[in-house]
Amino acid sequence: MSDAVEQARAAAAAAQAAAEEARRLADEAARRAEELAAALQQAADTAEPAAPSADPAEREPEPTSGTGTEPPGSTATPDTAPADTPPSAPAPSAPAPSGPLGPEAVAAVRAGYALEGTALELGALVNGAPLPDVPVRIPLAMLNRHGLVAGATGTGKTRTLQVLAEQIAAAGVPVFAADVKGDLSGLAEAGQPNDKLLARTAGIGQRWEGLASQAEFWSLGGQGVGVPIRATVSGFGPLLLSKVLGLNETQESSLGLVFHHAERAGLPLVDLADLRAVLTFLVSDAGKAELAELGGLSKQTAGVILRELVTFADKGADRFFGAPEVDTQVFLRTAADGRGTVNLLEVPGVQDQPEVFSTFLMWLLADLFNELPEVGDTEKPKLVFFFDEAHLLFSGASHDFTEQVVRTVRLIRSKGVGIVFVTQTPKDLPDDVLAQLGSRVQHQLRAHTPDDAKALRATVSTFPTSDYDLAEVLTSLATGEAIVTVMDERGAPTPVAWTRLRAPQGSMAPLPSSVLEARVASSPLLATYGTAVDPESAREILAARMEAAAAEAAAAQAQAEAEQEAARAAAAAAKEAAAQARRDERERAAAQAEVERTQREFERAERAATARRSRSSTRTRTRRVTDDPLADLLGPGIGGAIAKEVVRGIFSTLRRRR
């Protein structure tokens, strides 16, 4: 039931919106019909002949008093006509408009751009021809409502950027702009006049004179000529880095976990080598436990990120990351005479690494947003940031990244920063970003392909209602002309105006290389940011930690090996002792057997001797009685020697047993 009610409400709202749109179109059609009728009447009045007949002889006589009523179609006689006016001269009337706007529309444009406060002069209204008395301006205070400069290649976007940058800086507001093609560096030198330039500027009421701006030249990580801009990986953040690496949303989330782990573990991420070291550690055996604690990070995802980092570094992008990290406050400097400094980022190789370039500009904006205090609406912004080649920023961007850009664009206004996106068509920017842009400068668009025609229709639909056939005008604009609508001092959109833009006062040619290098060499910022430093960071900390772990593991392994060696030695000693014991036992058994054998032989010899003595007892010869039966058996000499040897063998064996 609730769904049906909601659908009915939606249908009613759509019907009401359609009715209001129809009413608006009807009013617009009526207004245009009235303007067309007035223009036709004016043209008819102008074309009406001054005399009713070409033959003066056919004229009827007229009273000379001048008080009578003249017949219809007649004119005054020479007697009544002014002395300095021919008889056939018509009464003076306003000239018919030669452009697409009628007098009322021209007056509306004049009133819409009649600003009271400080304003930037864009140029003059074009209505068939330039109208110097109808200038087109942008309020300086409204620049923090952001803007867009769009147009096809070669239609004058860069010169428009230069015109705006010069005037913004002259008003005391610093500027940051990316010089993609190196064309903007010339604003640091005064321009030189020529006949064509002076004729063009005179036609729009511009009193032109050459004027140089105070400029500071920067480069990404020293690539190009300029003071190097570097960022630490920690400061860059996982979201922007994921955009640069082309990671999907899952990998982007995993990279955020890696950054979280590094911060929690006290591992500063200064350059890409630090991030690679952290990832390598997490996928190693030593980091298994910490990888498991992260939960959402798989080893396979970490490997993918690691490979992307290696590829990214191989392209030379690692030079953009490192220390010292630039302090974005240096972009807010002003010159001694009060003029703002124009900070130009030289990026000649942007076509090779467009994502790096655009994402670095986004990092600068995000850093400014984080560092600057809230100031609200002021008479003039603190900084105007020109985001050239803006389409590169959003190409393939994740939802989270786009949300961050939209949030930064929406909120950085309160920090006093204005952003001007420079791109080819408005469709290059997300709708949420376009909705934040208060000023539009649209150069020529081309409709050579179906996609071009579609982009043209989309662009036309984003402009306020006007008397122009914008689809036709946008494809016929000359170089240096644009369709303009800005936010006035009341915050309301100004009338759409076909504008011939002013010429820059600085040189429109790039600075010679020698001059540019000399300017960079003399910059006081070169001493601070010119030389890269390598502080202790995650790579060194992890290396020291792994070395300590390796040393501890080596010590533990050595101790284990020593214990194993001692155990082996003890086992060998025990084995040898057991073998020696077995040998001793065998020797004891052999000695005992020898003693027993000897004892048996001795006993046998003794018994034999006893038997002999008993047989010789009848002998009559008296002889010396001996205690040695063996001697009695073998004789005194031999028996004694045998007895000595037996005794020696027995006692020697006994000594070995002890």
CATH number of the structural domain spanning residue 444: 3.40.50.300
Q: Is the predicted pLDDT of residue 212 greater than 90, yes or no?
A: yes
Are residue 501 and residue 555 in the same domain, yes or no? Answer: no
Q: Is the predicted pLDDT of residue 420 greater than 90, yes or no?
A: yes
Average pLDDT over residues 287-311: 82
617 vs 257, which has greater pLDDT? Answer: 257
Are residue 464 and residue 590 in the same domain, yes or no? Answer: no
Confidence of residue 615 (pLDDT cuts 50, 70, 90): confident
Given a contact cutoff of 8 angstroms between Cβ atoms, the answer to whether 350 and 357 are in contact is yes
Are residue 519 and residue 595 in the same domain, yes or no? Answer: no
Are residue 638 and residue 574 in the same domain, yes or no? Answer: yes
> Lowest-confidence range among 10-19, 116-125, 340-349, 588-597?
10-19
For residue 228, the cross-strand partners are 219
- pLDDT at residue 78, as a whole number: 36
Q: Is the predicted pLDDT of residue 461 greater than 80, yes or no?
A: yes
Average pLDDT over residues 170-188: 91
> Which alpha helices (DSSP H) does 120-270 contain, by range?
157-170, 195-203, 233-236, 238-245, 249-264
- pLDDT at residue 47, as a whole number: 45
Report the DSSP pairing between strands 227-229 and 215-220: parallel
- pLDDT at residue 72, as a whole number: 35
CA dihedral 102, 103, 107, 110 (to 10 degrees): 70
Tokens of 256: 């955020």
| Residue whose pair of structure tokens reads 């129809």 in the numeric block | 22
Residue 273 lies in a domain: no
Say how far apart CA 106 and CA 98 lie, in whole Å.
Answer: 12
Of the residues 478, 509, 528, the one at which a domain ends:
528
Range with top average pLDDT, 91-105, 206-220, 602-616: 206-220
Say how far apart CA 498 and CA 130 lie, in whole Å.
Answer: 9
Confidence of residue 647 (pLDDT cuts 50, 70, 90): low
Q: Is the predicted pLDDT of residue 305 greater than 60, yes or no?
A: yes
Residue 23 lies in a domain: no
Q: What is the DSSP letter of 92?
A: P
The string of pLDDT tens digits covering residues 541-590 is 888 877 776 777 788 888 888 888 888 888 888 888 888 888 888 888 88
- pLDDT at residue 362, as a whole number: 83
Of the residues 528, 560, 582, the one at which a domain ends:
528
- pLDDT at residue 66, as a whole number: 36
> Lowest-confidence range among 86-95, 166-175, 257-266, 568-577?
86-95
Q: Is the predicted pLDDT of residue 54 greater than 60, yes or no?
A: no
- pLDDT at residue 591, as a whole number: 86
Q: Is the predicted pLDDT of residue 401 greater than 90, yes or no?
A: no
Q: Compute φ and ψ for 235, nearest 5 degrees.
A: -70, -30
Report the DSSP pairing between strands 342-346 and 175-179: parallel
Range with top average pLDDT, 35-44, 194-203, 252-261, 343-352: 194-203
- pLDDT at residue 71, as a whole number: 35
Query: What phi-psi label fits residue 4: left (phi over 0), alpha (psi between -120 and 50 degrees) or beta?
Result: alpha
Percentage of the chain exceeding pLDDT 90: 36
Report the DSSP pairing between strands 119-127 and 497-501: antiparallel
Q: Is the predicted pLDDT of residue 315 greater than 60, yes or no?
A: yes
- pLDDT at residue 486, as a whole number: 95
Given a contact cutoff of 8 angstroms between Cβ atoms, the answer to whether 408 and 400 are in contact is no
Residue 596 lies in a domain: yes
Does the model's pTM come out above 0.85?
Answer: no
Provide CB contacts within 8 A for 416, sequence distance 6+.
Answer: 144, 372, 375, 378, 381, 382, 383
Average pLDDT over residues 196-210: 94
Beta strands in 223-366 (DSSP E): 227-229, 342-346
Q: Is the predicted pLDDT of residue 94 greater than 50, yes or no?
A: no
Total domains present in the chain: 2
Q: What is the mean pLDDT of the chain?
A: 81
Q: How many residues does the chain have?
A: 658
> Which alpha helices (DSSP H) does 315-414 contain, by range?
354-371, 391-394, 399-411
Are residue 545 and residue 487 in the same domain, yes or no? Answer: no
Residue 549 lies in a domain: yes
CA dihedral 78, 83, 85, 87 (to 10 degrees): 0
CA dihedral 563, 565, 568, 573 (to 10 degrees): -100
Q: Is the predicted pLDDT of residue 41 greater than 60, yes or no?
A: no
Could you report how far apart the first and last alpha carbons of the chain are, in Å? Answer: 113
The string of pLDDT tens digits covering residues 1-26 is 445 555 656 666 666 666 666 666 66
Are residue 543 and residue 648 in the same domain, yes or no? Answer: yes
| Residue whose pair of structure tokens reads 């004694």 in the numeric block | 640
Are residue 548 and residue 651 in the same domain, yes or no? Answer: yes
Of the residues 528, 549, 576, the one at which a domain ends:
528
Residue 551 lies in a domain: yes
The string of pLDDT tens digits covering residues 125-169 is 999 999 999 999 999 999 999 999 999 988 999 999 999 999 999
Are residue 468 and residue 545 in the same domain, yes or no? Answer: no
Q: Is the predicted pLDDT of residue 421 greater than 90, yes or no?
A: yes
Secondary structure class of 364 (helix, strand, coil): helix
Residue 479 lies in a domain: yes
Tokens of 528: 């601070």
What is the domain extent for residue 550?
539-615+624-657
259 vs 357, which has greater pLDDT? Answer: 259
Say how far apart CA 270 and CA 268 lie, in whole Å.
Answer: 6
Are residue 327 and residue 414 in the same domain, yes or no? Answer: yes
Confidence of residue 55 (pLDDT cuts 50, 70, 90): very low
Residue 165 lies in a domain: yes
User: Count of CB atoms within 10 A of residue 430's CB?
Assistant: 16
Are residue 438 and residue 554 in the same domain, yes or no? Answer: no
Percentage of the chain exceeding pLDDT 70: 77
Average pLDDT over residues 619-635: 53
- pLDDT at residue 479, as a whole number: 93
Angstrom CA distances, 363 to 162, 329, 408, 438, stand at 23, 14, 10, 23
Range with top average pLDDT, 222-236, 282-296, 396-410: 222-236
Residue 216 lies in a domain: yes
- pLDDT at residue 222, as a whole number: 78
Are residue 520 and residue 554 in the same domain, yes or no? Answer: no
Angstrom CA distances, 643 to 601, 613, 637, stand at 11, 19, 10
Are residue 552 and residue 448 in the same domain, yes or no? Answer: no
